Amino acid sequence: MLKAIRLLKKAKLFSVKGIFYLLKALFKRGVNLMAILRLGAWLYPERLALVHEKDSFTYLQLYHLVKNLAIRLKENHQIEKGNKIAIVCANHPAFISSLFAAAYLGTDVYLLNSEMGTAQLTRQVKQHQFDFIIYDASFLPLILEMGYENRSLAADGEGESTVSRYLKDAAHLRSGKKLKRSSFNRVVILTSGTTGLYKSAARKASVSAYTGLFLSLLDRLKFENYQSVYVATPIAHGFGLAALCFSYLMGKDVYIRTGFDHKAACALIREEQIESVTLVPVMLRRMLEEHKEALQSLKCIISGGAVLSPVLAGDAMLNLGNKLYNLYGTSEAGVCLLAGPEDLKKYPGTIGKPLDGVSLQIREGQLWLKCAWSAEKDQWISTGDMGYQDGAGYYYLLGRSDDMIVSGGENVYPYELELLLMQHPLIKEVLVTGVEDETFGQRLAAFVVLHDREQLTKEEILSWLSGKAARYQMPKHLVFTEAIPLTPMGKPDRKVARLWLDQEVRD
């Protein structure tokens, strides 16, 4: 209890003013995302809640914009408590405003991947029967095709009725209208998109469930020491949404960009002197290669959403100092493990140890988690990730269970070959996947990106691997490529890589 009070004091929430406004926000707005924004408007009114390219909004401004947007959604589009609202948008102010406005109205909010294909989005609409869709303008033809023209709203684009236009109008207006208090709306995040079949991970807002997570992260990340945060990951994914909400609870200056470009990201961090960033490993790698000097203002780098290789962790610490954290979680289970800078120095590649309140088991090589803030609330959840625990109690990932192949009777993990290849001084990036093989059932195929102006042959790589890799780890195919294919989240896309390989074999 004393530790919790000390941490809340650091977050400026354990004070007469902090507790008063927290309780007032929950009473006035209910237990939903909007309570976070209302609290921020009271505690940090002039801090920057959102900076996106040329636009910036304080906490007080964003709260009033979202409140007015919610009123427009209710009056103009008849959105009511309990409706299913789908949002399919990239990172921008209209998306974030729509998310909080929909929560304010007490709807169930479904966050859809803005890089979804036509078939995938159509499947989700048929499965969930959404009452309303808020979409980026590029989805308009599909919206019309699905018959949603009267049950949808563009986030941007031409016309009087778009989220962006509503926000511009709201900036000059102050509505005296009030909305009823709404509690316990759900936020539904779709996961496992790389297979082409999405699953839903739904959560209700819960103060009791998330308090332990908030305190544990606050203790381990020392987040009170940093004011500016760049959320580089898509907010429609669990990692990005968690980073946004945690930052808002702490009253941070939050920066976002539409899409990720490593050159633009480096420029943003340098120009704004950003102190902390949330990203996936490939983003970190590409920024380090682009302009590591531009990243010197960073004091806290939180990597998550994909496996952090020991080589990349070492490069980051060598060039930027002991500022790197490796966060592990899933859309279903939430944030669950964390490795800090000292952990990564001693145990490169580890995902650390469970946060307070997390139970972890390894069953047949697969990680199972249980915590109060998971989608299943204190029920054991299979993560689908393979891993192990070392003698010091630290955990490590071996990749996804559906990535594992069986070659000649041996269980083979593509990630282990990736780790080996990344140790080669001329190799910059690697992706390994399984392919069918007539003799052994399955074997590995490796996609390799070389450092600029370097040359290497397939025979030289195989010779270098000889003696380092086991017989069943030796790749059947080696493909040189200029870039590894990525999912919208920034994870290596093995599905696309296999299509590349099929084309290479045919050619």
Looking at residue 57, its pLDDT comes to: 96
User: Among all chains, which residue has been given the structure tokens 């316990």?
Assistant: 184
Looking at residue 463, its pLDDT comes to: 95
Top-confidence range, 23-27, 278-282, 490-494? 278-282
> Which H or E run contains 100?
helix 93-104
Q: Residue range 90-114: average pLDDT?
A: 93
Looking at residue 188, its pLDDT comes to: 87
Please give the sequence-ordered ranges of beta strands (E in DSSP) within 128-267, or none if there are none. 132-135, 152-154, 186-191, 199-204, 228-231, 253-256
Query: What number of H helices and E strands is found in the chain?
Result: 17, 24
Q: Does domain 206-400 have CATH number 1.10.10.10?
A: no
Q: b/e map of 30-44 (b: 16 or more CB within 10 Å)?
A: bbbbbbbbbbbbbbb
Q: Inform me whether the pLDDT recorded for 215 exceeds 90.
A: no
Q: Inform me whether the pLDDT recorded for 151 exceeds 80.
A: yes
As a whole number of angstroms, the distance between CA 94 and CA 115 comes to: 17
Q: Position 409: which residue type?
A: G
What percent of the chain has a predicted confidence (pLDDT) above 70? 87
Neighbouring residues of 154: CB distance < 8 A, sequence distance ≥ 6: 134, 135, 136, 137, 140, 161, 162, 163
What percent of the chain has a predicted confidence (pLDDT) above 90? 56
For residue 111, list its beta bridge partners. 87, 189
> Which H or E run contains 212?
helix 207-221
- DSSP state for residue 370 in the 8-state scheme: E
Instruction: Please compute, for residue 393, the number of CA atoms within 13 A of its CA located in the half-sphere on the CB side.
Output: 7
Q: Inform me whether the pLDDT recorded for 193 exceeds 50.
A: no
User: pLDDT tens digits for 325-339?
Assistant: 999 998 788 889 999
What is the CATH T-level fold of the domain 2-172+183-203, as seen in this structure? Rossmann fold (3.40.50)
* 0.85 exceeded by pTM: yes
As a whole number of angstroms, the distance between CA 186 and CA 189 comes to: 10
As a whole number of angstroms, the distance between CA 476 and CA 238 comes to: 35
Q: Using N-to-C axis directions, what is the helix angle for 2-10 and 207-221, rounded to 10°?
A: 70
> Nearest 5°: phi and psi at 503?
-65, -40
Structure token digits, residue 81: 């408590």
Q: Which tops the pLDDT comparison, 197 or 85?
A: 85
HEC letters along 16-73 = HHHHHHHHHHHHHHCCCHHHHHHHHHHHCCCCEEEEECCEEEEHHHHHHHHHHHHHHH
Calculate Rg over the CA atoms of the chain. 23
Structure token digits, residue 182: 């709404």
Neighbouring residues of 6: CB distance < 8 A, sequence distance ≥ 6: none
Q: Inform me whether the pLDDT recorded for 41 exceeds 80.
A: yes
As a whole number of angstroms, the distance between CA 322 and CA 341 comes to: 5
Q: Per-residue DSSP letters for 292-339?
A: GGGGTT-SEEEE-SS---HHHHHHHHHHH-S-EEEEEEETTTEEEEEE
Q: Is 150 exposed, middle or buried (0-12, 13-18, 19+ CB in 10 A)?
A: exposed
User: pLDDT tens digits for 235-274?
Assistant: 998 889 999 999 998 999 999 999 899 999 999 999 999 9
Q: Using N-to-C axis directions, what is the helix angle for 59-77 and 163-170, rounded to 10°?
A: 120
Q: What is the pairing mode between strands 48-52 and 253-256?
A: parallel
Instruction: Please compute, for residue 283, the number of CA atoms within 13 A of its CA located in the half-sphere on the CB side.
Output: 27
May I ask the CATH class of domain 405-506?
A: alpha beta
Lowest mean pLDDT: which of 156-170, 186-200, 288-302, 398-412?
186-200
- What rounded mean pLDDT belongs to the chain? 86
Residues of the chain with CATH 3.30.300.30: 405-506
Residues of the chain with CATH 3.40.50.12780: 2-172+183-203, 206-400
Neighbouring residues of 112: CB distance < 8 A, sequence distance ≥ 6: 86, 87, 88, 121, 124, 190, 236
CA 505 to chain centre: 34
